[in-house]
């Protein structure tokens, strides 16, 4: 009989309890022991939510991040962190967050944080020192195994695999991380022995890099590492996820491991061959419930598909979600405000676990015909895709002519100063919004409040002397959720939180049907802002690709089709803003890069439809209307061509932290359009120095033509205070003025 298991479960709790416990701890309101006790009970509740499984995973829970946990498990703690404090828990949070205002101790910079494969989860990058030594710290994992058993469950520890761990790490000496492989394998072996002594039978060892392009060197390292680990006691379930193995499939079927886990949905075609290639006693775990989407699985259909493999493999067949359920919300039960027609199609972590149990039951039935007949009716109703018309992807004229038309229409000074869109989201704004949502503030009162904020924001920008103003986004809780609430075919969940990093959670909208714009979304407030000033106010929209990448997306049509629907909707809004007299419109594509597929071969296709979606959204305006876009990063490796193809009139990017690489790349590629390289880092509360900023402007000008350059911060200001924002922008405007003066006299 097939075994059911899980790869990982959401940590945050039904009501984001983990976030609250962590924040209380960081504020010093609860002790180490209280934090440990509260998080332990949260984790024990998670076990109960998975009680129907044959074995539960241990080690997937984390106080902050499982990659950081792995570093601490193996004693990889950067020296600056060790110097700052001896206390392990303080070291852990210091490595995660650096010293912040509410930190309980000591100072040190946090580790770098970056995206976990193609998800919106972020991990702390391991730092390997030259001559790094590894030291096992397994007490906490062993303790969790004991507790799991006391709670009556069979425990399967989860470890991040040595090669994925090394591939994520950065090496202080700039050497290849593989130089550490022998030393690292030694502690893995030590750990496997300890686990075996504790009576653990199976260990889940995660190697998601097997679903990425691997060089011959890394493939060889896999053969080597798993040969070494096979000398340790215990059974390894080599676990892969986030896509197809492609040429790594041949590799993993020859590794000496007791079992393998693959994403069976991605490998549907290859499954018969994979089953054939198994060694005699080898276990095959199939990811059959999609861990990345929020849709119910067609269980009878899945059972019928699996039946021949089940008959053949029997107890050697395990069933699981395709990947950890970390990337979906906890439970649909909390969604009490959505129509049944939507909730009845949803499955989050708890429901996905139930689906596994349902699948096991179906496979046990001796009457396959009956299961086959149940298949009907479980398929969700076909969704209508209305033809929105042929996409238009080109502006009226090429950039050179548009530049002239815009210069005439807008008459902006050289070194034009602007911002990225948002101004501080103050406690007062959040409070007013909460009151309005609860009905304690009428719609009219809330609207007036927002208008007052906008008026203040315009006034401040005029006083600062900025050239292109924004309305400040006071009405937006989140750049995607705001549009999700207003678009047809998109649902906003009440409690659908997913961990982004540490205590931070996001609530992605759910795109469940055809996306349509039903009414103007930003026109009223943008034109209100414009009515208050003679300077141009820049309209502010979120781009189609960013809305898509930060949402859960329907899976009955392609992502490219969904992006196109979103693009048509945003295009209508762009045109409505233009009609209403807005002369500059920014369409943010903050998440364009993070939607890149893990495989290079698929990246071109993605970039092609993503860029087309942006062009569709923005190409309808007159030559005189200036289109801006913003991206919050400067790592444009592999996407420079795509960026140029977007053909935005002005591109604002992050450049304050990561240097000038992107500018020289743009120069090399002959970029002609305008660009605002972020001149200071808004993530830091520090006020930038005027003369440093002026110097930076000169440096920018050594890469690109001066007429191409805009002056702006590197991202929105919503996380800053008004005082910080005004002082920093003041320095920025002064720097621009000084550079202009110098140009006039020199
Ligand atoms: N316009 C948005 C803002 O300023 C852009 C945010 C982002 O790039 N993430 O907040
Ligand atoms: Zn940004």
- CA–centroid distance, 124 to ligand 2, in Å, is 20
* Nearest ligand (C-alpha, residue 479): 1
**pLDDT band for position 174 (50/70/90)?**
confident
Over the stretch 713-739, which tens digit does the pLDDT of each residue have? 999 999 999 999 999 999 999 999 999
Catalytic, 628? Answer no
Of 431, 669, 683, 698, the active-site residue reads 683
Q: How far is the CA of 719 from the centre of ligand 2 (A)?
A: 12
Q: Which fold has domain 3-9+44-75+117-374?
A: TIM Barrel (3.20.20)
pLDDT of residue 103 exceeding 60, the answer is no
| C-alpha of residue 631 to centroid of ligand 1, in Å | 8
For ligand 1, residues with CB inside 6 Å are: 420-422, 473, 479, 540, 588, 590, 630, 632, 715-716, 718
pLDDT tens, position by position, 177-217: 999 999 999 999 999 999 999 999 999 999 999 999 999 99
Domain ranges of the chain: 3-9+44-75+117-374, 417-474+517-744
Contacts of residues 84-91 at CB distance under 8 Å and 24 or more positions apart, as own/partner, are 84/108, 88/137, 89/32, 89/35
Residue 267 — very low, low, confident or very high, per pLDDT cuts 50/70/90? very high
Collect contacts of 567-570 with beta carbons under 8 A, ≥24 apart. 567/391, 567/612, 567/613, 567/614, 567/616, 567/617, 568/388, 568/389, 568/391, 568/515, 568/517, 568/616, 568/617, 569/487, 569/515, 569/516, 569/517, 569/544, 570/517, 570/541, 570/542, 570/543, 570/544, 570/617
In angstroms, rounded to a whole number, what is the distance separating the alpha carbons of residues 714 and 631? 9
Q: Is the pLDDT of residue 234 over 90?
A: yes
Q: Whose CA is nearest to atom 5 of ligand 1?
A: 716
476 Cα nearest atom in ligand 1: 10
With bands split at pLDDT 50, 70 and 90, how would you rate the model's confidence at 634?
confident
590 CA: nearest ligand 1 atom? 8
pLDDT tens digit string along 364-419?
A: 987 777 776 776 666 555 566 666 777 889 999 999 999 999 999 999 999 999 99
**Closest ligand to Cα 540:** 1
Topology alike, domains 3-9+44-75+117-374 and 417-474+517-744: yes
CATH number belonging to the domain at 417-474+517-744, selected among 3.40.50.720, 3.20.20.210, 3.50.50.60, 3.40.50.12280: 3.20.20.210
Q: Mean pLDDT in the chain?
A: 94
Nearest CA to ligand 1 atom 7: 590
pLDDT of residue 11: 98
Per-residue pLDDT, averaged over 324-334, amounts to: 98
Residue nearest to atom 9 of ligand 1 (CA): 590
Using the predicted structure, report yes or no on whether residue 514 has a pLDDT greater than 60. Answer: yes
Question: CB atoms < 10 A from the CB of 533, how many?
Answer: 14
CA of 422 to the centre of ligand 1 (A): 6
- Residue 107 alpha carbon to ligand 1 centre in Å: 29
The pLDDT value recorded for residue 637 is 77
pTM: 0.95
Percent of the chain, pLDDT > 90?
A: 89
Q: Ligand nearest 653 Cα, by number?
A: 2
Ligand 1 nearest atom to the CA of residue 422, by list position: 4
For 11-67, write each residue's pLDDT tens digit.
Answer: 999 999 999 999 999 999 999 999 999 999 999 999 999 999 999 999 999 999 999
């Amino acid at each position: 009989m097939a075994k059911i298991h899980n790869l990982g479960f959401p940590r945050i709790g039904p009501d984001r309890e983990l976030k609250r416990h962590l924040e209380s701890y960081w504020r010093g309101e609860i002790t180490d022991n209280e934090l440990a006790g509260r998080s332990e009970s949260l984790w024990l509740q998670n076990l109960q939510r998975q009680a129907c499984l044959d074995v539960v995973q241990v080690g997937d829970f984390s106080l902050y991040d499982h990659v950081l946990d792995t570093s601490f498990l193996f004693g990889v703690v950067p020296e600056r962190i060790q110097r700052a404090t001896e206390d392990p828990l303080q070291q852990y949070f210091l490595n995660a967050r650096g010293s912040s205002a509410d930190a309980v101790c000591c100072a040190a910079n946090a580790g770098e944080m970056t995206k976990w494969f193609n998800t919106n989860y972020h991990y702390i990058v391991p730092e390997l020192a030259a001559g790094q030594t590894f030291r096992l710290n397994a007490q906490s994992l062993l303790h969790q195994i004991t507790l799991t058993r006391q709670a009556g469950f069979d425990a399967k520890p989860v470890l991040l695999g040595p090669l994925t761990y090394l591939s994520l790490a950065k090496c202080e000496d700039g050497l290849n991380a593989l130089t550490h492989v022998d030393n690292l394998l030694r502690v893995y072996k030590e750990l496997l022995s300890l686990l075996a002594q504790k009576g653990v039978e199976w260990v889940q060892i995660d190697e998601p890099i097997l679903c990425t392009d691997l060089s011959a060197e890394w493939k060889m390292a896999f053969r080597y590492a798993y040969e070494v680990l096979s000398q340790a006691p215990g059974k390894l379930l080599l676990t892969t996820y986030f896509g197809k193995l492609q040429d790594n499939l041949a590799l993993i079927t020859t590794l000496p491991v007791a079992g393998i886990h693959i994403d069976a949905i991605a490998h549907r075609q290859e499954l018969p061959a994979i089953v054939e290639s198994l060694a005699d006693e080898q276990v095959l775990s199939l990811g059959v419930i999609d861990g990345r989407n929020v849709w119910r699985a067609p269980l009878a259909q899945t059972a019928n598909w699996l039946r021949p493999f089940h008959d053949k493999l029997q107890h050697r067949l395990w069933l699981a979600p395709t990947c950890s359920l970390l990337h979906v919300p906890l439970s649909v039960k909390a969604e009490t405000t959505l129509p049944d027609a939507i909730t009845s199609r949803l499955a989050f972590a708890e429901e996905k676990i139930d689906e596994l149990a349902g699948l096991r039951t179906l496979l046990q039935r001796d009457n396959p015909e009956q299961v086959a007949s149940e298949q009907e009716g479980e398929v969700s109703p076909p969704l209508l895709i209305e033809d929105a018309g042929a996409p238009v992807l080109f502006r009226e004229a090429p950039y050179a002519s548009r530049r002239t038309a815009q210069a005439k229409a807008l008459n902006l000074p050289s070194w034009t100063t602007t911002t990225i869109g948002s101004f501080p989201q103050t406690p007062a704004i959040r409070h007013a919004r909460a009151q309005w949502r609860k009905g304690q503030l009428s719609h009219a009162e809330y609207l007036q409040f927002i208008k007052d904020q906008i008026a203040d924001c315009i006034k401040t920008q005029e006083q600062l002397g900025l050239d292109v103003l924004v309305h400040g986004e006071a009405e937006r809780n989140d750049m995607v959720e705001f549009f999700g609430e207003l678009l047809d075919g998109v649902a906003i969940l009440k409690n659908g939180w997913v961990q982004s990093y540490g205590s931070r959670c996001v609530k992605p909208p759910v795109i469940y049907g055809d996306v349509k714009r039903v009414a103007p979304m930003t026109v009223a407030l943008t034109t209100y802002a414009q009515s208050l000033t003679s300077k141009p106010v820049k309209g502010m929209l979120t781009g189609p690709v960013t809305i898509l990448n930060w949402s859960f997306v329907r899976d009955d049509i392609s992502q490219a089709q969904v992006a196109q629907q979103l693009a048509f909707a945003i295009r209508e809004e762009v045109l409505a803003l233009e009609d209403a007299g807005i002369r500059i419109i920014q369409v943010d594509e903050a998440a364009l890069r993070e939607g890149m597929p893990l495989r290079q071969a698929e990246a071109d296709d993605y970039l092609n439809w993503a860029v087309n979606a942006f062009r569709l959204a923005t190409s309808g305006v007159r030559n005189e209307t200036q289109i801006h876009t913003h991206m919050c990063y400067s790592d444009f490796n592999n996407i420079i061509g795509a960026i140029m193809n977007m053909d935005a009139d002005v591109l604002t990017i992050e450049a304050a932290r990561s240097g000038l690489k992107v500018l020289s790349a743009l120069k090399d590629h002959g970029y002609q359009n305008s660009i605002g390289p972020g001149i200071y880092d808004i993530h830091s509360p520090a006020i930038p120095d005027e003369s440093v900023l002026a110097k930076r402007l000169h440096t920018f000008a050594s890469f690109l033509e001066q007429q191409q350059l805009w002056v702006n911060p590197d991202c929105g200001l919503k996380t800053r205070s008004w005082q910080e924002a005004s002082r920093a922008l003041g320095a920025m405007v002064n720097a621009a003025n000084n550079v202009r003066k110098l140009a006039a006299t020199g």
